[in-house]
């Protein structure tokens, strides 16, 4: 019943794309686990890790697209929600190490022993249980987004001012998490993870499951986002984006619409960060860097703002280009990223997804002129 209700507002192309994402996750996992290592169809563990990371980035891009593409909120701080979800997962993974750490302390992580902590900080309690960590992964980013959105939207802060506030938030969090007295690893962050749910993090089977779980989370995010934007609520969201003053005049509580979608997107970003950490094996304050949030906006712009599918495609394309360029020409990457954003703004205002419709419209205009 719930599944049918969610799928009712999703158009056919998005349904096909969701199925493609799920098939990708299943195929990669099976080709790693069932296909012999010598076969051309075998997917090595490093490919699973790379694609799994891209899938997490795609979920982050989807969260940004939901608020920017459909509600007009240009957030430059979604990297903070991503990092907070990652830290919650990192705290769980650190508690699973136990006495297997370098210092052999069954309760305190290694960095706390090194910094002469006498007892576990109060906010670490409960993270030895996965169910508690899972709740915090969603709750912590959501509470921060609710607090920020409540004051910003009620004060009618919009446009570039809201973007600056969100960027200032993530920069402030980055500086705070760099401090050793935060009890979260300081500059080095958290690493050397051993187990997740009792399974070795470095095992191929675990990597396959994490990659599939990332694909499943992205598919679920697409279902939820598609159901929202295809509903009457979604139509109101786009109206808020296009004519906020008119919506207020008509009696709509614009703040409520903005706050709901902002908190939802923060929760999605937190889940993306949580799935990202066990696959890359580390979480540190650099994930709060404002540049990461700006990159997420570029992914959405490249793929196509306000399309959902475009956000996912943009995340894959840009990060694949980053992976290739940072290996072949590392000094060129940042220049290429800036040039890409400028080129998309000038020549592809609707992104890669809108390229086909742009070509068709130009072709139709040419035929009309020829007929005249």
DSSP readout, 199-250? Answer: EETTSHHHHHHHHHHHHHHHHHHHHHHHHHHTSHHHHHHHHHHH-HHHHHHT
Euclidean distance between CA atoms 57 and 214, whole angstroms: 10
Q: Residue range 207-236: average pLDDT?
A: 95
- Give the strand pairing for 199-200 and 282-283: unpaired
The pLDDT score that the predictor gives to residue 32 is: 93
Q: How far is CA 123 from the centre of its chain?
A: 24
pLDDT tens column, 158-167 = 889 999 999 9
Contact at 8 Å (CB) between 61 and 296?
yes
Contact at 8 Å (CB) between 64 and 75?
yes
Alpha-carbon distances of 49 from 138, 239, 276, rounded to whole Å: 23, 40, 9
Report the percentage of the chain scoring pLDDT > 90.
69
Contact partners, residue 179, CB within 8 Å, separation at least 6: 186
Collapsing DSSP states into helix, strand and coil, what is residue 283? strand
The pLDDT score that the predictor gives to residue 209 is: 95
pLDDT tens column, 108-157 = 999 999 989 989 999 999 999 999 999 999 999 999 999 999 999 999 98
Using alpha carbons, select from 258, 222, 216 the residue that is nearest to residue 238: 258
pLDDT tens column, 263-321 = 999 999 999 999 999 999 999 999 999 999 999 999 999 998 989 999 999 999 999 98
- Give the strand pairing for 190-191 and 195-196: unpaired
- pTM, to two decimals: 0.93
Q: Which of 58-67, 180-189, 336-345 shows the lowest mean pLDDT across its residues?
A: 336-345
Between 329 and 209, residue with greater pLDDT: 209
| pLDDT > 70? residue 6 | no
Residue with token string 């005049």: 249
pLDDT tens column, 241-269 = 998 889 998 888 999 999 999 999 999 99
Euclidean distance between CA atoms 37 and 66, whole angstroms: 40
Provide the H-helix boundaries in 117-190.
130-154, 159-177
The pLDDT score that the predictor gives to residue 21 is: 96
Euclidean distance between CA atoms 184 and 268, whole angstroms: 22
| pLDDT > 60? residue 16 | yes
The pLDDT score that the predictor gives to residue 1 is: 45
Euclidean distance between CA atoms 174 and 76, whole angstroms: 14
The pLDDT score that the predictor gives to residue 351 is: 85
Q: In whole numbers, what is the pLDDT of the chain averaged over residues?
A: 90
The pLDDT score that the predictor gives to residue 332 is: 80
Using alpha carbons, select from 224, 258, 265 the residue that is nearest to residue 239: 258
Collapsing DSSP states into helix, strand and coil, what is residue 279? helix
Characterise 263 by phi-psi region: left (phi > 0), alpha (psi -120 to 50), beta (else).
Answer: alpha
């Amino acid at each position: 019943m719930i599944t049918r209700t969610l799928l009712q507002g999703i158009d056919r192309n998005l349904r096909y794309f969701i199925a493609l994402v799920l098939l990708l996750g299943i195929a990669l996992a099976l080709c790693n686990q069932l296909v012999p290592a010598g076969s051309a169809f075998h997917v090595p563990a490093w490919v699973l890790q790379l694609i799994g990371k891209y899938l997490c980035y795609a979920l982050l891009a989807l969260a940004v697209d939901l608020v920017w593409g459909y509600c007009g909120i240009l957030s430059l701080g979604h990297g903070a929600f991503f990092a907070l979800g990652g830290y919650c997962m990192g705290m769980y993974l650190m508690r699973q190490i136990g006495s297997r750490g370098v210092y052999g302390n069954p309760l305190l992580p290694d960095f706390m022993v090194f910094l002469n902590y006498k007892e576990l900080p109060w906010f670490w309690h409960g993270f030895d249980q996965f169910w508690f960590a899972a709740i915090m992964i969603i709750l912590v980013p959501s509470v921060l987004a609710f607090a920020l959105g409540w004051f910003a939207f009620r004060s009618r802060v919009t446009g570039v001012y809201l973007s600056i506030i969100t960027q200032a938030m993530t920069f402030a969090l980055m500086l705070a998490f760099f401090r050793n007295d935060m009890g979260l690893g300081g500059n080095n962050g958290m690493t050397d993870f051993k187990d997740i749910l009792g399974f070795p993090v470095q095992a191929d089977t675990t990597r396959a499951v994490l990659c599939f779980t990332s694909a499943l989370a992205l598919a679920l995010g697409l279902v939820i986002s598609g159901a929202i934007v295809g509903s009457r609520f979604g139509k109101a969201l786009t109206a808020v984006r296009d004519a906020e003053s008119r919506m207020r005049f008509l009696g709509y509580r614009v703040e409520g619409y903005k706050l709901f979608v902002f908190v939802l997107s923060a929760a999605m970003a937190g889940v993306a960060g949580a799935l990202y950490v066990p696959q890359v094996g580390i979480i540190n304050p650099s994930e709060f860097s404002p540049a990461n949030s700006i990159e997420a906006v570029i992914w959405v712009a490249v793929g196509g703002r306000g399309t959902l599918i475009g956000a996912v495609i943009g995340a894959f394309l840009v990060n694949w280009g980053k992976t290739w360029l940072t290996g072949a020409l590392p000094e060129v990457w940042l220049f290429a990223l800036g040039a890409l954003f400028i080129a998309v703004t000038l020549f592809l205002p609707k992104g890669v997804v809108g390229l086909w419709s742009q070509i068709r419209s130009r072709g139709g205009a040419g035929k009309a002129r020829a007929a005249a």
